[in-house]
Amino acid sequence: MRPNVLGRALAALFLMALVAPAVANTAQNGQTGFPWWNDPQFQKDLSLTTEQSARIDSVFQSTVTLLRQKKVELDQQEAELSRLIAGNADEGVVTRQVDKVEGIRAHLNKTRTLMLLRMRQVLTPDQRVQLNKKYEQWGKDHPRPRDDGKKK
């Protein structure tokens, strides 16, 4: 990957990390979660304008309803898949249900990714640089456990 593409991917992942809890929260209880784009410290750190915050909020609000619906649908279809597996259903029936589940999951992920892209497009190049820095710092502050493949 070229460095610029990597930076963009990291920034998108950072946005996803910030938005994912809000989206999950909305799917579970109908609330919008933590709107980072309205947070005074985040606005200050990225020099977000009121208009940018409003545009990002508009992107989020226009997408979150569909994300909620797809999450409910995914949960229902995963439950059906679990029921089929537990009932020792025919492999063909299970395969069709897996395809259905994965199709919904792919649509949900695509919709979320496009939402994040649209949010990112509201930012200026300098704000994207700041976003990358915040992402890097967030990664340092929240290290992921490594799986070294060794059994314990």
Helix, coil or strand: residue 108: helix
* pLDDT reported for residue 4: 53
Of 15-29, 56-70, 111-125, the range with the lowest mean pLDDT is: 15-29
Instruction: Give per-residue pLDDT as tens, 77-99.
Output: 999 999 999 999 999 999 999 99
Given a cut of 60, whether residue 40 has pLDDT beyond it is yes
Q: What is the DSSP track for 55-90?
A: HHHHHHHHHHHHHHHHHHHHHHHHHHHHHHHHTT--
* pLDDT reported for residue 34: 62
pTM of the model: 0.70
* pLDDT reported for residue 75: 98
Instruction: Give per-residue pLDDT as tens, 99-139.
Output: 999 999 999 999 999 999 999 999 999 998 998 888 788 78
Mean pLDDT of the chain: 82
Nearest to 81 by CA among 65, 96, 59: 96
